[in-house]
Amino acid sequence: MSETPIELELSIQPSSQPGLERGLQSPLVFQLPLPTQDPPETHQQTQPQPEVQLSESNPEHRHQAKPLWIKHRRLLLLFGGFSLCAAFLGLIYYKHQNLQSRSNNQAGAATPCLSPACQRASAHLSTSADPFKEPCDYFLFTCGSDGLSPDSGGRQRGQGILGHQQNYNGKSVWSERRGHSKEREDRGVRQEKILDRKTVLLQYLREILESNNRGTSSAVQKAKGFYNSCLDTRAIETAGVEPFLTLIQKLGGWAASGQWNKTDFNSTLSLLMRDYATFPFFNLYVGKDPNEIARGSTKRYIQIDQPDLLIPIEWNTKTQKSQAKAQTLRRFLATCETYLALLGAPPSSSMLHVGMFMSLSSELAVATSPLQYRLSKGQLYQRMTIKELQIQAPAIDWLGCLQAAFHPLTLMEDDPVLVHNLPYMVQMTPIIGKWLNKHELSSSGPLQTYMVLNLLHTLMPALDSRFSEAAKNLSVTLGNTEEQVAPRWRHCVLETERGFDSVLTHLLRERTARREAEEVIQNIFSSFKSKLHELKWTDKTSPQSVMKKVHSLNPRLWTSNEISSEAELDLLFSKVSVNTHSFFSNYVQLLSLWQKRRRKLLTEQTERVDVLSVTPLLLGNELLFPVGMFVPPLFHPTYPRAMNYGVMGFLLAKDILHLLLPDIYSQSETVRAVGECVWAHYLTVTERTSRGGAFSLSAAQQQEVWVQYSALQIALQAYRQSLKNHPEDTSISGLSHTRLFLSSFSQVNCDFDPYHGFMPLEPSFLITVICAKSHLCPSRLQCPSKTQQHTLQTC
């Protein structure tokens, strides 16, 4: 077959057949304007001329020819009929060849995309495995975990979006038959790994923060300065523990490392909550009351929950109590001793303070309980006033602490709060009272030690690596062997977002091609609605309720108009001073900014944009798509639309199906039928049935297969509609439109989402299913196997 890309045509089957894309209204062919060319002479068809010429000038011949013509009339008519049929077949052959020629030359006629983004994409595609050149190896890897399939094929999830790396250690069915060239192995190793959409967004934010654009606002420069100070690990190591010890002195000191001024317990707690976002005895956040959300209320409340204790504990289902094992406590004790040694505490007092911290933590831990238990006991979202909470748990000055945390907002005793574990708050009071009144320990300040070590945990990301190494070693000894250390840049991007989220939101909004993103959103949602009409429902009420819900939604790009200019950003961060050589001081300011964000949430009525969100969400009747979804390399305004729809269109369609149809398996017969059909294709191509490696799909797996197969169909239909409205499109790597669409889709490698564990096969294999009974794909998509001779059903 020629190396020239073939334009892929998607035809619509008649209604009497279970054809692909039944929801599409009319067949379309993706074609670009072709250069004018004359048809090849070899395809010209001419009518045959009779070999005998009758002369009308000779009467004798005319007289003798008549009987001859009559005699052979049937033969001549038969010969003429064959000639007409030959001419007709020749015309069909010519048109077919001409169409083939047009398809083969179409990529050359397409306008190539030469933008920097397209050049990077072209270089990437050139080094990626091409599903149309090596289908036998490409499609047979498995997305699911090793436990999902008897023969997973070696390829593991999370090895890339838009250019994943092949795992050539695991051999596919065809690898033993065809072998792997050294060149292809080397190419696979060179390919870039992009784990998931969240990583793609973080990498894009990293590029923004590391860019050296002059003339930007002071707020943007401060965000970049904070990020760069986080990257400067040499300065962090040089500073050591001195910044933290200096901070402790501002809080009244600490008996373990020097002088303690015996500060008031509630005063110190208020300072920790206000300036350092540290909550040793209880958690504090802002959120809505779920009982009011159904009524459309946007009011937010202060919510008080049990703390995230530092001591490792587990839940005893028999005693219905939290507890810690002795072996676990010994390891935690050793880690705490390491912390105090790093802080310069003398060995003589170190053991005393560690012992007090462990004892107090253990007593508080007994009063805590896991979320599921509290939910079963109705202990979540208990509404009460601050005054009522004060009566139930008098050890804490609730009004004073809450006023400090939400300063300068004015709070009153009658203001309502939502409590999530009132029994813990009640039991916390005598525990705190007991440790406050222990006269033999009054000079040691056990509660001060407890609060200082909690503050240490809050500020540990800004301290030198010795602390993080100690924490990592504890985590490993407790059994968290799979914990991976994130690269420094990722950690710094996340920390920057905590304080400068408004800056990053503004920068993302300014760089997002909103018009192009909105067009993709609207086209995908329209195609999604047409897909719903194809479903066969188990009852009459299901489609009515689903369609009513879908048609009431307004899909749109989720952007924030909170900050409309850089001048407003500069004013918002005018009091922030970033020291490029002191990440610790910058981090302390970040905690203050974080607390201000929490305070602002209490007064805002609109939903705050989450700059790190990469999946759509429902908010009333609005279906919101965060701008963080539309970033390179997943999406770019200069990409050919075939590429944007093949990648982002598929991801959007998959997200919509998961969000709006979370459990459709029991409501539609189509889900099971399509899931089984796709799985039958997979078993046939991989020869698993004959090798005894087949297994049946669960309901959840069948639904996920249907979701991803439908998402590909939806994206393809949306792209076709886009081409119908705007026939022009550019090209990358000389690929024709539809081939670029499918090639781009094949790079999306097992998108990591909450449903990823239910996908038993590589999504790229869905191309094989779509191409089974159509002219979509080149013939070499088929593998040279006897199983490929079987007629495969169109799903």
Q: Are 116 and 97 found together in one domain?
A: no
Q: Are 288 and 161 found together in one domain?
A: no
The tally of domains found in the chain comes to 3
DSSP 737-785: HHHHHHHHHTTS-S--STTGGG--S-TTHHHHHHTTTSSSS-GGGS-SS
Q: Is residue 557 part of a domain?
A: no
Residue 663: predicted pLDDT:
87
Higher pLDDT, 354 or 687: 354
Q: Is residue 320 part of a domain?
A: yes
Structural domain of 390:
241-463
Long-range contacts of 440-443 (CB under 8 A, 24+ apart): 441/356, 442/262, 443/255, 443/260
Q: Are 392 and 449 found together in one domain?
A: yes
DSSP secondary-structure letter at 253? B
- Angstrom distance (rounded) from CA 69 to CA 66: 5
Instruction: Output the domain CATH number for residue 448.
Output: 1.10.1380.10
Among the candidates 445, 463, 481, a domain finishes at 463
Residue 92: predicted pLDDT:
54
**Which has the minimum average pLDDT: 28-32, 81-85, 135-139, 592-596?**
28-32
Higher pLDDT, 307 or 109: 307
**Residue 460 C-alpha from the chain's centroid:** 29
Q: Are 416 and 392 found together in one domain?
A: yes
Q: Are 183 and 293 found together in one domain?
A: no
Q: Are 70 and 188 found together in one domain?
A: no
Q: pLDDT at residue 577 above 90?
A: yes
**Residue 681 in 3-state DSSP?**
helix
Q: Are 670 and 693 found together in one domain?
A: yes
Q: Is residue 694 part of a domain?
A: yes
Dig out the tokens for 580 from the structure: 């490029």
Q: What is the pTM of this model?
A: 0.78
Q: Are 269 and 364 found together in one domain?
A: yes
481, burial (CB in 10 Å: exposed 0-12, middle 13-18, buried 19+): exposed
Q: Is residue 4 part of a domain?
A: no
Q: Is residue 330 part of a domain?
A: yes
- Angstrom distance (rounded) from CA 600 to CA 610: 14
Average pLDDT of the chain to the nearest whole number:
79
pLDDT tens by residue, 265-285: 999 999 999 999 999 999 999
Residue 253 β-bridge partners: 260
Residue 149: predicted pLDDT:
36
Contact 268, 290 (CB under 8 A): no
Q: Are 250 and 118 found together in one domain?
A: no
Q: pLDDT at residue 309 above 80?
A: yes
Q: Are 666 and 756 found together in one domain?
A: yes
Q: pLDDT at residue 79 above 90?
A: no
Q: pLDDT at residue 756 above 60?
A: yes
Q: Are 63 and 134 found together in one domain?
A: no
DSSP secondary-structure letter at 646? I
Q: Is residue 655 part of a domain?
A: yes
pLDDT tens by residue, 466-518: 999 999 988 888 877 665 678 999 999 999 999 999 999 999 999 999 999 99
Among the candidates 442, 463, 484, a domain finishes at 463
Q: Is residue 12 part of a domain?
A: no
Q: Are 660 and 761 found together in one domain?
A: yes
Q: Is residue 124 part of a domain?
A: yes
Question: CA triplet 617, 620, 623: central angle to 5 degrees?
Answer: 40
pLDDT tens by residue, 662-686: 989 989 999 999 999 999 888 887 7
Among the candidates 463, 495, 522, a domain finishes at 463
- Angstrom distance (rounded) from CA 546 to CA 239: 60
Residue 324: predicted pLDDT:
81
Amino acid at 82: F
